[in-house]
Amino acid sequence: MDESAPLLLYPAGVPVSGAQETEKTYGAFAAFSFTVNFIMGVGILSLPYAFYHAGVILSPIFMVIVSLLSFTTVMYIFESAARAEAYVSGGADYEIQHQLGPKTPRFEITRRRFDMRTMAKLWLGRWGWHFDIALMLFTYGGQWSFAATFGAALTANVPLPFLFTYNESQPCNVYHAGFRSNTACLHTYYVWVGVFALVVIPLSCIELTDQAWLQMSLTVFRFVAVSLIVGTVAVGLATAEFDGKIPEHGPPYSQPVNLLNWNGFGNLFTAALFAQMMHNAAPNIAQPLRDKSKLPFVFLGAFAVTFGIYVLVGIICAVYFGEHVLETVTLMWANFNGWKPAGSPIPWWAEAIHWILSLFPPIDVISAYPLGSIALATNLFSILPKEVQQHPRWKLWKFFTNLVAAIPPLIGALFVWNLATIINVSGLFAFFIVFITPALLYLFSRRKCAEVFGQWKTPYSLGPFSSPVFAVVILVVGTASLGLSIALLIDGNLFGSA
């Protein structure tokens, strides 16, 4: 999941007009590319660890369930947006209009943008506040994971010998025991988090349009990095043990793995949900699409592609690295030498792969962090009183909300840097965004439109999946999953020791 997607780029619930009439549109392939880019974030890095502990059979099965439910709830968001368009356009005056002749509501997504926060206010009324809180805390958690990922990756790969004296027998890996007591490594981590702050805080205070080149280049870099992960592991399975040891058998050089291990389900549970989350960005991706009828195909294709990539990376890395796989899988390439014996010269291409994969997380999060901060700042600003938003010095207030959105996660990363822990905690709020809120939007918007218009079906309805019964099932699943996640946080061995 890339939780860093913009939440509100233009005023929500109002027509695009005036200068915004020149807003660009795009086709289905561009929408597909944006969707994949939003979904695939650093969540992919924790999946091999989760796949190993839960098992290479159980993990893909659970990923199928999460992917299908995520796609269904995204379509619930589109259904709710189409109903919002019809209701805002004619719901209040529908009875008067009906006296002049039969009127059929147009359930469609237009150039008027309804993000999830706007729809939560429209359909849920005073109960919509829960989405604001969940979105804020989840975004903070996502930003926290970005800062920790940057610090961990640079600390492991780029030491600062001109500042600190290192003990070569103790690698600077944040997941190794004793890291917190290793003063040189700990201070190196602090320095790199500080460098990250110096880069992302200014980026979090400028407009998204000025960062377009950064975001477009990330898509290419991400797929190059994923291809290298799969490619190098595939070659390793056929040629050599990952740790350079003399093999005791012929290829494939795999490690023992679990097939189905309920004891490790807790590691998989939140990681899988985190990886397939992009719901808060869905309205922003859908609005510029020229042919809205292709929305189901665009998003189904995107979830299918990301599912395939996640399963491929999760299984192949779990099989090759086995119990040695780290919570952030790219750290496994920290000492990559091209499968040469220890002490042998490292080929240039192995050095290149090492640096591309080692720097993939920090480069990825540099571009992702400002998106989340700007999106959260926009929502924080919209919560302020109208007199503040319309104040002559409103730009100072907007700058202040940018800082409030950008700085707290950086402070948190100085104290907690374990990616799995951060994802498990912030993932609690994802249940509201992925399951609970979309199901509530579907149910309340359907009921209201049935009362006002006598009909509720939209072009984005999914047959039997678009029914109150199935929406209630998703609501129950989301609520139960939230409770299970809280229980796993309290007792990490709820399902037994992995």
> Distance (Å, rounded) from C-alpha 423 to C-alpha 42?
10
Alpha-carbon gap, residue 80 to 77, rounded angstroms? 5
Residue ranges of domains in the chain: 18-490
Contact 268, 62 (CB under 8 A): yes
CB count within 10 Å of CB 370 equals 28
| Length, in residues, of the chain | 498
Region 64-93: what's the mean pLDDT?
Answer: 85
Angle at the Cα of 1 from the Cα atoms of 205 and 233, rounded to 5 degrees: 115
CA neighbor of 109 nearest in space, from 32, 29, 25, 53: 25
- pLDDT of residue 198 exceeding 90: yes
What is the model's pTM?
0.77
User: Which pLDDT band holds residue 90 (cuts at 50, 70, 90)?
Assistant: low
Average pLDDT over residues 295-315: 90
Spatial CA neighbour of 461 closest among 225, 272, 295: 295
Residue 26, beta-bridge partner list: 289
CB under 8 Å to 369, separation ≥6 — which residues? 4, 143, 146, 147, 196, 200, 203, 204, 406
For 383-427, write each residue's pLDDT tens digit.
777 777 777 777 888 888 889 989 999 999 999 888 777 877 777
Residues 86/105, Cβ–Cβ less than 8 Å: yes
460 Cβ contact list (under 8 Å, min separation 6): 75, 78, 79, 82, 295, 296
- Per-residue pLDDT of 275-291, as tens digits, reads 888 887 788 778 777 88
Q: What is the pLDDT of residues 428-461, one digit of tens each?
A: 788 888 888 899 999 999 998 888 888 888 888 8
> In whole angstroms, what is the distance from residue 147 CA to residue 337 CA?
28
Beta bridge partners of 289: 26
Looking at residue 162, the DSSP 8-state letter turns out to be: T
Q: How far is CA 375 from CA 66, 139, 218, 347, 396, in A?
A: 25, 9, 18, 43, 17
Return the pLDDT at 10.
Answer: 35
DSSP code per residue over 3-38: TT--S-SS-TTS---GGGGG---B-HHHHHHHHHHH
Instruction: Note the helical H segments in 114-160.
Output: 116-124, 129-157
Query: 276 is written with which tokens?
Result: 């397939």
Topology classification of domain 18-490? Amino acid/polyamine transporter I (1.20.1740)
Number of CB atoms found within 10 A of residue 260's CB? 13
| Predicted confidence (pLDDT) per residue in 226-277, tens digit | 899 888 888 888 876 665 554 555 566 667 777 877 777 777 877 787 788 8
Location of structure tokens 């399975």? 237
CB 424 within 8 A of CB 489: yes
Residues 327, 350: Cα–Cα separation, whole Å: 23
Q: What is the DSSP string of 339-387?
A: SPPTTSPPPHHHHHHHHHHHHHHHHHHHHHHHHHHHHHHHHHHHHS-HH
pLDDT of 62: 92
Which of these, 43, 1, 268, 221, lies nearest to 149 by C-alpha position?
A: 43
Q: For the chain, how big is the Rg over CA atoms in Å?
A: 24
